[in-house]
Amino acid sequence: MPLSTYLPEEMGSVAVAPLGPVEAGSFQSFFIIYTAGKFGIDDSGSLKIVHRFASDLGRLQMDDPEGANYVSAQASNGAVLHMEYDLKRNFRPWDKTLYIKVVRGFLSEGDRIVIRIGARRYGGPGVRMQTFQEQEFQFRILVDAFATYDYVELPNTPSIEIVSGPPVIYKAVLPTLKRVGETFLLGLKGEDRWGNPSTKCEDTFRVTSTRPVENLPDEISFYPGQASVQIDGLRAEEEGDLCIDLIDMDGNLAARSNPLRVVAKTDGVSFWADLHGQSQETIGTNNARSYFAFARDKAFLDATVHQGNDFQISSGFWDELNGLSREFTQDSRFIVLPGYEWSANTCLGGDRNILYAEEGRPIYRSSHALVEDRGDLDQDANSVEELFDKLQDEDVMVFAHVGGRYADIRRGHDRRLERSVEVHSAWGTFEWLVEDAFEMGYRTGILATSDGHKGRPGASHPGATRFGAYGGLTCLFADDLTRKDLMTALKRRHHYCTTGCRAVLSTRLTLDAPADRFDDDPALGGPPDEQVTEAVMGDILRTDAQTATFEIDIHAAAPIERIDIRDGLRHLETWRPSEAEDMGKRIRVIWEGSEYRGRGRETVWDGCAELSGNAFTRIAPINWYNIEKRLDLVSPQRVEWASLTTGGFIGFDAWLDDMVMGWLRIDTPLVKKSIAVQDIGREDIRLEAGGLGRRVRIFRVPEENPHRRLKLTRKIPLNPDRDNALYVRITLDDGHVIWSSPIYLVP
């Protein structure tokens, strides 16, 4: 951090109480006591009390003593203090800042400033702690003793341990595609209300399977201190789809796993990965070692990548990451791909994710903005063109990312290196980036990541900050769990992705005559790899065929709400498994989209829905991950909410007293509209709101939807004058979304 290093031991001391442990998301009250050092603090000097960007600690305020997150400060000698709170008043990652200025008087050695974070003296509940676990949460103290705005950080600031709460849900996680006789692992955990793996589980469950599974125990117990349980060496000896259930001692279903498909023969099995996240060494939470351990042991991933912002990765940390990648990689168990996030300013190309096939490769930074050692400055790649040029001789895979900055793939794209674009992360959903690729004629796969900053790769709950979505996952088809096989899958686009759920998905295409299949984009000029009459997701075929048979096979843990079949930018069909006669009295009201592509993409949808001449009987949230945002049925005629979107959708289901009578009025800052209840059917009513896909959608859904597994086959006419890029977007009843990578048919 670029701060003054002048005599920190003479700038005072700090005490913090209590030091915890405290429960994530709970309300607490802290004393921070600063004692001035040798130089005191001069008139107009100041303190900064800073905490990390990733923290979603309640936003500190000084205006409402009876409200949450109230802060007070008092000088022991009567000096007058002025306080402000700003989300970005210091150097990242310690940018959230409580600023305390001495505006009348001064402090001498031994004088104190007592700060109450979450003061309760006036009836307030305290400060809401950040919603995720951290071993060493800190308020760091910076001192401007000489009123020069040149700050010195106090050494040895005490830290607070933040731990998980009690479990509110149990989860069972399986792979999604295995061969007959192959061993597999069942991951089990309880999560608290904020998505943290709970160490307070004390439950015993019966374990059952919908199909025979060898080595599956009859019973499993959780003990205090355990964050997860893994049962390895399981095996199924017959083909079919299976799920595993946890049954509590009262006979109730506590958890059902995602489906696992077991087949006799397949070209590749599925491996689940989170390809992007950060730790505390850059802008995330907890250290890099705990990052990899969480991915393997608590998210039950098969593979992951650490993707720190390059302008914060020192040479020493790059070496450490390479060492951890080597240490954690174990073939057939868990794979780490070495990598980093190339984080250029948007005008120079925006964010890209770099995934190497092996350790020991160079880091070509976008800048040295927060790296003090400038000895390798000549290795920087400041623009996307320079990046692709430097990577030409590397065994590497690149994908385009949207974070604070977004990838400008219109400006720069390399067909050999950049094989996919990211459609979803904890930052939101970005189908516009996929559309950019189609508009430019690129032949890329589609993947999703978490870009998690909270130390939970592969299970990235957004908590209570601007991250409004659950982190995404990518499912890779590979022969075996090795780096070589996973890199091959990534380069061939043999993957699909989700907004965080795990589901079985296959898309397959059949032609009447042989076509040339390419692993690399044929625009690069290479020869075809083979001739085929069938293709799977990610394949590129060159053909003069007039039609193709497109087959979709999906089995999800939640019912399927709709399947959208697309050809690049062209929407071919929306297919719903439920017919009009299946509809009952349940309607779905959702809002979606973003303001624009950049950092300020959040769209506020605070509002209400009112019924006249009818009544709401109950409501249920959809994608309501920010649980501190309210959704209330305040009366039989009124639902109120506070909500924002960053590209994806959020909303609620409502059960009405009658599906003929009355009017539904939607009232939000962007949409105000009345709709006759009798006009709400299974097709969307769309109320457009500008921006990037901003709208409210209202439609009917069936009371009960049993359709978790479906097969669809479509005969699709092919356009002979352009690429045909066939893929699906599948929306589940619980709000999760699944995208396949396209199959490209090149004229």
Three-state SS across 418-432? Answer: EEEEEEEECCEECHH
Residue 334, SS3?
strand
Please check whether residue 336 is in contact with residue 303, taking contact to mean a CB–CB distance below 8 angstroms. yes
Q: How far apart are CA 276 and CA 195, in angstroms?
A: 19
Residues of the chain with pLDDT under 50: 1
pLDDT for position 206: 98
Please check whether residue 490 is in contact with residue 497, taking contact to mean a CB–CB distance below 8 angstroms. no
H-helix or E-strand containing 289? Answer: helix 288-297
Closest to 451 measured CA to CA, from 647, 646, 276, 648? 276
Please check whether residue 47 is in contact with residue 34, taking contact to mean a CB–CB distance below 8 angstroms. yes
Q: How far apart are CA 471 and CA 461, in angstroms?
A: 7
Q: What is the CATH number of domain 8-163?
A: 2.60.40
Topology at the third CATH level for domain 169-266: Immunoglobulin-like (2.60.40)
Please check whether residue 433 is in contact with residue 350, taking contact to mean a CB–CB distance below 8 angstroms. no
DSSP state of 276: -
* Domains 282-500 and 580-702 equal at CATH topology level: no
Please check whether residue 380 is in contact with residue 313, taking contact to mean a CB–CB distance below 8 angstroms. no
Q: How far apart are CA 198 and CA 164, in angstroms?
A: 5
Q: How far apart are CA 206 and CA 6, in angstroms?
A: 62
pLDDT for position 464: 85
| Structural Rg of the chain based on CA atoms | 27
Domain ranges in the chain?
Answer: 8-163, 169-266, 282-500, 503-577+710-747, 580-702
Please check whether residue 581 is in contact with residue 721, taking contact to mean a CB–CB distance below 8 angstroms. no
Q: How far apart are CA 550 and CA 552, in angstroms?
A: 7
pLDDT for position 404: 85
The rounded Cα 645 to chain-centroid distance in angstroms is: 14
Task: Find out if CATH 2.60.40.420 is the number for domain 503-577+710-747.
Answer: no
Side-by-side strand order, sheet with 260-263: 177-179, 260-263, 240-242
Topology at the third CATH level for domain 580-702: Immunoglobulin-like (2.60.40)
Closest to 238 measured CA to CA, from 295, 179, 293? 179
Q: How far apart are CA 742 and CA 537, in angstroms?
A: 6
Q: What is the CATH number of domain 282-500?
A: 3.20.20.140
